[in-house]
Chains A and B, each alone.
Chain A
Amino acid sequence: MTIGQGILLVLALGAFGLALRRGVPTAQRALRETGDTILRVLPLLVAALPMAAFLAELIPPDLAAGWLGPESGLLGIAIASLAGGFIPGGPFVSFPLVLTFLKAGAGGPQMVALITGWAILGFHRVIAWEWPVLGGRFILIRLLASGILPVLAGLIAQALLPMFPHALVRP
């Protein structure tokens, strides 16, 4: 178990403890909510992890090292930002893909831009969730306000990368 997972476990038990202090019915509702989400997420996870692994197997390694490599600079950051928007599904798809890219030699700033593009643009999520709930006009305003930010994140990462010498080394 990593430090991050330990922190999460402590937070979860703390929050559940607070719910328990509100009374047993509140804690029961929290548990039922948790069970429902597990049942909803597990099929997605079981389908998505092999998909991400297959995609990673298909993507040619020189694509990551060339187009998205450390030498690709601003153009690579821009390509990664846009490409991130087209990654379907949740974190169970995007993070395994990024891991594959990093192992194949992609650059750190480009991968920061890719994750940021997936999180902010995420066209799959926009179409499936944001548009039906909040409407097209809201999406227009949000994309106008945030569409360019993945590139900015990549540029910040380029400036900060010297301070993180271990960022691209896998344990």
Chain B
Amino acid sequence: MLRLLRRHSSLAIILSIGLVAGSLVWTLHGPEAFRRALGTAWQVFLTVLPALLAGLLLAGSLKQLIPPGALAKWMGAESGWRGLFVATLCGMAMPGGPMAAFPLVLVLAQAGADRGALIAFIVAWALNGFQRVLVWEVPLLGADFALLRFLCGLPLSVIAGVLARRIPLAWTPPGSAAPGARP
């Protein structure tokens, strides 16, 4: 129920911003600009639609193939640098939006992945997810810009993971055992 509410809140926010912006465009720049904007939106839609459908099929299939427990074992507290690299790779390979990614992070945390790996995973997913780069960034911004942006983002997930391990704040995943229960 909460999921449903959150999902529709996104749609409501986007719709209301769009209505306000659309009426502003109509009054400030005239109906010609309004139609031009709608034409641009339609072009973008046609550009990304085939890749979007392929990306969603990839997401749906991978979810059936990869058990989260296997991932968590590779990202434990003793995993060191290897854990951060594994988390970065998994984050980049992770398809789907926040409705899939954050619940998976919670599952990984409850299965024993450490915070550095979790944060490296989130940053790599949000920043360099393959699906997002291939569906949106390459078609819209061009391969050269996408590659430049990707390279700049590549080291960030590992840096974030290293920093996160050094921050002296205790955290236990919601819904897991009491602090200290896990070595």
Contacts and interface: CB of A to CB of B under 8 A. Distances in A.
A12 B57 contact: yes
B61 A18 contact: yes
Contacts, number: 295
Interface residues of B, number: 94
Contacts of A99: 140-141
B65 to A, nearest CB: 6
Given A5-B50, A22-B65, A129-B98, A146 B21 contact: no
Contact of B141 (A29, A102, A135): A102
Interface in B33-80: 33-34, 36-38, 40-42, 44-45, 48, 50-65
Which of A119, A153, A167, A168 has most chain B Cβ within 10 Å? A119
Nearest to B37: A53
Contacts of B48: 92
B2 A132 contact: yes
Nearest to B147: A164
Contacts of B131: 8
A65 interface: no
Given A56-B37, A116-B152, A141-B119, A167 B144 contact: yes
Given A8-B58, A18-B61, A167-B144, A120 B11 contact: no
A62 interface: no
A55 interface: yes
Given A48-B18, A146-B163, A160-B148, A15 B102 contact: no
Interface string A132-171: 1111011011101110010011101100110010111111
Interface string A117-139: 00110101100111011110110
A95 B41 CA distance: 12
B60 A31 contact: yes
A105 interface: no
B119 A145 contact: yes
Nearest to B63: A33
A145 B163 contact: yes
B43 to A, nearest CB: 9
B145 A29 contact: no
A89 B119 CA distance: 21
B158 to A, nearest CB: 11
A98 interface: yes
Given A51-B17, A95-B140, A146-B119, A141 B164 contact: yes
11 contacts: A8-B134, A33-B63, A38-B53, A40-B99, A44-B10, A88-B17, A111-B145, A115-B137, A122-B126, A144-B167, A161-B148
